[in-house]
Amino acid sequence: MPIEILMPALSPTMSKTGGKIVKWHKKEQDKVEVGDVIAEIETDKAIMEFESIDEGVLAKILVTEGTSGVPVNQPIALMLEEGEDESALNNYTSTSINSAVKREVTKSAVDNQKSEHQDLNGKPISHSSVSFQRVTLESNPSMSSQCLTLGSRKEEDTKTTEGRIKISPLAKKIAQNEGVNVQQLKGTGPYGRIIKANVLEFLGSGIHTESPEKDTIVEVSNMRQVIAQRLTESKRNVPHFYLTVDCQVDKLISLKNEINSADENNKVTINDLIIKAAAFSMKKFPDINSSWIDNKILRYSNIDISIAVALEDGLITPIVKNADKKGILSISKEVKDLVSRARSGKLKPEEFKGGGFTISNLGMFGIKAFGAIINPPQSCIMAVGASKKQPIVMNEKIEIAEIMTVTLSVDHRAVDGALGAKFLNAFKHYIENPLVMFIETAVTY
């Protein structure tokens, strides 16, 4: 069947004004290769080049040079596949336009047959390029045309000099879909442009890269939905401010190692000691242990500390209750139990709902410092980073020390900056002098 070459929509106004066939670069019976410029079309903006993306023979030109006002999607020429009999043209009937429009275009073609490729001043008009897509006629065809303006030759040359590769839109789309690196291709189209045939030849050679991964939509769990809702509300409604302090943890690490060497069955972690230090600091500054609720401040009587535990589909914050009244080994055993049951989904609601303060520790992932989002309705959350050896000045000398960065996120409605700073300094004191915690624990009991 003949292949209709349609008048493309090269500008927004062409649907009203139509286009003008300025020049045919191919004559009837000429062979057309992929990438060949077939014709030039004038819009209200510029003259555009038609570039073939198919092979065949230009069998019949329906609209002659100089014809103006050719409607969009109007057939302007017919192509036959190479080797196809010309008798196929005898039964050709276009369904793209009605006969009245066709007669008008034919008459215009006769009147303008000798018009030249010039503007009103008789000067040549600058060119830009465009690609067209063929449409094959069937018994009840639906006609369509796909054209993409590539910009002026000057713009193309500029892009090439800047290291960008000239490639036709269709070739680029095929390359992207098939995961082909266009830098591996050699263009055989006009001005060295990569065309469809170059991409298909590369794919057929077997030197093919892997197909690109496709985007996927993931249905989220109820837990993830709750996390998204609560933290979005927190970040939007809670006026956060942040306080950061560096803590020297050499003594803390030594203490942890001594405890673990004394009882290998009950090993404690740095995080256990951090929970204890935070509990003692909250006891010194109880206003930290509060929530802003209905324009009032609720101060909690118990020091219950939530610890952030990462799960596969989110996180949960089990609570170490009355942390200030528990010893290090007791806290360590309770944390291990809470974390284990949290990851197996066996926590009771009362074990993760509530709490007056949260600790989030990403030190085990090598994170130096970060600012956490407050877990409402609490007023504070402490973000703990990894400890790292670094030089510090001690007694007018440079020493190497293990430093841990801690950032406190604070709800400014309930806690002011000075109070947050005092609390953080108290925490730093306990971390850098961990034996004090044991002394105060002994006095309490």
Compute the average pLDDT of residues 47-54.
73
The pLDDT score that the predictor gives to residue 142 is: 34
The pLDDT score that the predictor gives to residue 438 is: 84
Would you tell me the crossing angle of helices 328-343 and 270-284 to the nearest 10 degrees? 110
CA gap 348, 365 in Å, rounded? 28
Q: Say if residues 274 and 431 touch (Cβ distance below 8 Å).
A: yes
3-state secondary structure the chain: CCEEEECCCCCCCHHHHCEEEEEECCCCCCEECCCCEEEEEECCCCEEEEECCCCEEEEEECCCCCCCCECCCCEEEEEECCCCCHHHHCCCCCCCCCHHHHHHHHHHHHHCCCCCCCCCCCCCCCEEEEECCCEECCCCCCCCCCCEEEEEHHHHHHHHHCCCCCECHHHHHHHHHHCCCHHHCCCCCHHHCECHHHHHHHHHCCCCCCCCCCCCCCCCCHHHHHHHHHHHHHHHHCCEEEEEEEEECHHHHHHHHHHHHHCCCCCCCHHHHHHHHHHHHHHHCHHHCEEEECCEEEECCCCCEEECEEECCEEECCEECCHHHCCHHHHHHHHHHHHHHHHCCCCCHHHCCCCCEEEEECHHHCCCCCCCCCCCCECEEEEEEEEEEEEEEECCEEEEEEEEEEEEEEECCCCCHHHHHHHHHHHHHHHHCCHHHHHHHHHHC
CA gap 316, 335 in Å, rounded? 13
Backbone angles phi and psi of 32, in degrees to 5: -115, 125
The pLDDT score that the predictor gives to residue 13 is: 66
The pLDDT score that the predictor gives to residue 86 is: 79
The pLDDT score that the predictor gives to residue 5 is: 82
Q: List the one residue out of 341, 288, 306 whose CA is nearest residue 230.
A: 306
Placement of tokens 């992929």 in the chain: 34
Identify the weakest region by mean pLDDT among 16-25, 120-129, 347-356.
Answer: 120-129
CA gap 286, 23 in Å, rounded? 87
The pLDDT score that the predictor gives to residue 137 is: 33
- Whether the per-residue pLDDT at 150 is higher than 80: the answer is no
Buried/exposed 35-54: b ≥16 CB within 10 Å, e otherwise: bbbbbbbbbeebbbbbbbbb
- 158-180 per-position pLDDT tens digit: 334 345 678 887 888 888 888 88
Name the catalytic one among 117, 127, 208, 412.
Answer: 412
The pLDDT score that the predictor gives to residue 219 is: 86
Compute the average pLDDT of residues 123-127.
42
Residue 112's alpha-carbon distances to 7, 65, 363, in angstroms, are 18, 7, 80
The pLDDT score that the predictor gives to residue 223 is: 87
**Which carries the bigger pLDDT value, residue 108 or residue 229?**
229
| Strand, coil or helix: 130 | strand
Q: Say if residues 36 and 25 touch (Cβ distance below 8 Å).
A: yes
Residue 100 corresponds to which tokens in the numbers above? 């009245």
- Whether the per-residue pLDDT at 128 is higher than 90: the answer is no
- Whether the per-residue pLDDT at 276 is higher than 90: the answer is yes
CA gap 340, 334 in Å, rounded? 10
Identify the weakest region by mean pLDDT among 52-56, 262-266, 277-281.
Answer: 52-56
Residue 212's alpha-carbon distances to 172, 178, 199, 201, in angstroms, are 14, 7, 16, 19
- 305-345 per-position pLDDT tens digit: 999 999 988 899 999 999 999 999 999 999 999 999 999 98
Distance separating the N- and C-terminal Cα atoms of the chain: 98
Please tell me what DSSP assigns to residue 1. -
**Which carries the bigger pLDDT value, residue 247 or residue 8?**
247
Compute the average pLDDT of residues 74-97.
75
Instruction: For CA atoms 173, 174, 177, 181, give the dihedral sign.
Output: negative
- Whether the per-residue pLDDT at 285 is higher than 60: the answer is yes
CA gap 403, 407 in Å, rounded? 13
Q: Is the peptide bond before 377 cis (omega within 30 degrees of 0)?
A: yes
Residue 389 corresponds to which tokens in the numbers above? 């050896």
Find which of 155-159, 184-188, 374-378 is predicted with most confidence, using mean pLDDT: 374-378
Find which of 5-19, 102-116, 252-266, 357-371 is predicted with most confidence, using mean pLDDT: 357-371
CA gap 98, 211 in Å, rounded? 45
- Whether the per-residue pLDDT at 442 is higher than 60: the answer is no
How much is the mean pLDDT over the chain?
81
Annotation says 429 is catalytic: no
Which residues touch 100 (CB under 8 Å, ≥6 apart)? none
The pLDDT score that the predictor gives to residue 376 is: 94
The pLDDT score that the predictor gives to residue 388 is: 95
The pLDDT score that the predictor gives to residue 346 is: 92
Find which of 68-82, 179-193, 370-384, 431-445 is predicted with most confidence, using mean pLDDT: 370-384
Residue 440 corresponds to which tokens in the numbers above? 């105060």
The pLDDT score that the predictor gives to residue 444 is: 57
- Banded pLDDT at 207 (limits 50, 70, 90): low
- Whether the per-residue pLDDT at 132 is higher than 50: the answer is no
- Whether the per-residue pLDDT at 300 is higher than 90: the answer is yes
- Banded pLDDT at 242 (limits 50, 70, 90): very high
The pLDDT score that the predictor gives to residue 58 is: 86
Percent of the chain with pLDDT over 70: 78
The pLDDT score that the predictor gives to residue 123 is: 43
